[in-house]
Amino acid sequence: MGEIFGYRDDREATSAAKVRALEALLIEKGVIGTDSVDTVLRHFETVAGPFNGAKIVARAWVDPEYRKRLVANTPGAIAELDLPAGMTGAEGEHMAAVINDEQVHNLIICTLCSCYPWPVLGLPPYWYKDPVFRARGVREPRAVLREFGVNVPDTKEVKVWDSSAQIRWFVIPERPANTEGMSEDELAALVTPESMMGVALVTAPLA
């Protein structure tokens, strides 16, 4: 993504290095064990992550009735799918989906801290927590989206949704053109966490 909000992409690598160093220190001091770390990692590799959200998006793309139920009762619609346990509880109790279409593009932020629907999107990226992103996302969402490479035409409305402890939003992005013959699994493979936050579009694979 180049440079966003004055931060270079390598900040994420720096943050990851700090996390590894902190993890090593906590293990050395006996605060946590390697088993605890492995358990958390397995959870986000197999139970809670963007692979869940991608399956939800793919089903919404191929099934208009499911898409309606997803908007009307997001937890209920999610429960219809064969997803890992843990779709409720911490960070996932009050999830709600919004739909991108020809008239509206949705953007997800959290103005207070970094509330995020972990079960369907995984762990939030570093820039999602940044106060500059949170403030500018409200004031000038179109400019922010342009910096992510998403140019929303003036004819399309941009709606900003503020996640909180009471409700955690995620986006059903627009289905890309020329994907009519793809299966649900193939469609799910196109979906990224960024597209479910509204800061990216889903693109079809090259022919």
Which positions make up the binding site for Fe(3+)?
A: 110, 113-115
Amino acid at 83: L
Alpha helix stretches (DSSP H) within the chain: 10-28, 34-46, 50-62, 64-72, 74-79, 118-121, 131-139, 141-147, 184-188
Annotated binding-site members: 110, 113-115
Select from 106, 123, 105 the least CA-distant residue to 114. Answer: 123
Respond yes or no: is residue 195 known to be catalytic.
no
**Catalytic residue of the set 114, 164, 183, 195:** 114
Respond yes or no: is residue 163 known to be catalytic.
no
Respond yes or no: is residue 113 known to be catalytic.
yes
Q: Which helix (H) or strand (E) holds 151?
A: none
**Catalytic residue of the set 15, 113, 164, 183:** 113
Which pairs count as long-range contacts for 42-46, CB under 8 Å and 24+ apart, including other chains?
Answer: 43/86, 44/118, 44/122, 44/123, 46/84
Respond yes or no: is residue 183 known to be catalytic.
no
**Which residues participate in catalysis according to the annotation?**
110, 113-115
